[in-house]
Structure 1
């Protein structure tokens, strides 16, 4: 991300549009738009000062953007997988809310639980009517939800945590899956490498579950993160 893209995104995040921002700081819209298109280094200092003052940053931060913390974060974040990018975003949003004294009130939802999946020795999913339980957080789009039993997937999934699942029998290497392994339901990480396929626990005190002709295995779905 270069400084002009960063500047435009910052303006839109704080003011909604470049035009409205220009009106608020008393700089012509065409001038602000030209700075975003042609570059900060080609702009008059007085305009840069007004833009930075309106955004609550210093001209030095803008000119030295390539060496700034936000630039370094962006360069690393784009190299992360989607799961880790989501964690970075959630942490950043939390810091922003704390800084601005924004309190997120929990949403009171209910979730249908279709039994338990083991993070250890195996469980059985419900065949009958699901259990409706309260869930005080945002519920992501999903096909079914289950409860984790055990500690083999800590720290990512804790004992008694509700997790949400998208039904599929197609899975990518490294995804967290809900699998039927020898007629018992597990939550595990699916791995495929030179050693073959297996279901992996994050807690190293638990052994991997090999996927081969000696065991029956099918995928219920992947965990929604």
Structure 2
């Protein structure tokens, strides 16, 4: 894969559309530095779903960015069709990054762990900027959230009692759990009865950092 030429094509298409690197990054849910690395050819293995999402935003043919054709003419319609064949107005459809795990999505180099993108209908621009999808691993939240399902997560550092949250324990162990508050205690609860609730009392509550709340579960086929 000639990442230098791919980067040149991304840069040319971005400039033709009149977008800065920061503006393109915002539309894709990526940092400006990640766009810079794409354009400089420094990301050596660019996943096809990533190129497709960039192509949609830049109004070019994904095969053009993938160096399979020299024709940049776009080959997508003005609407995006979801899995239920509902036609969605593109003004409210946002391309949301999908991360391979909780830790990957919230890590220092999160953009390196994007495994794809998903079009989601989100009315609020602010909410769209703070939304991500994460691939769930494990069965602790079975049957509501199964291994391989994707969860739509709204980034925020607080949650109400009973909400399903994405959290870090001790700064590194990413989990998806239902959160319960009582007196001086926080309890993280699994839906799967085979997993015991985890209680954090008093100062132990500081071990938990809420990263976001789960808005939607997207089932894996």
- Both structures adopt the same fold (TM-score exceeding 0.5): no
Q: TM-score if structure 1 supplies the norm length?
A: 0.44
Q: TM-score if structure 2 supplies the norm length?
A: 0.45
Structure with bigger gyration radius: 1
Compare the two structures and name the one with the higher helix fraction: 1
Compare the two structures and name the one with the higher strand fraction: 2
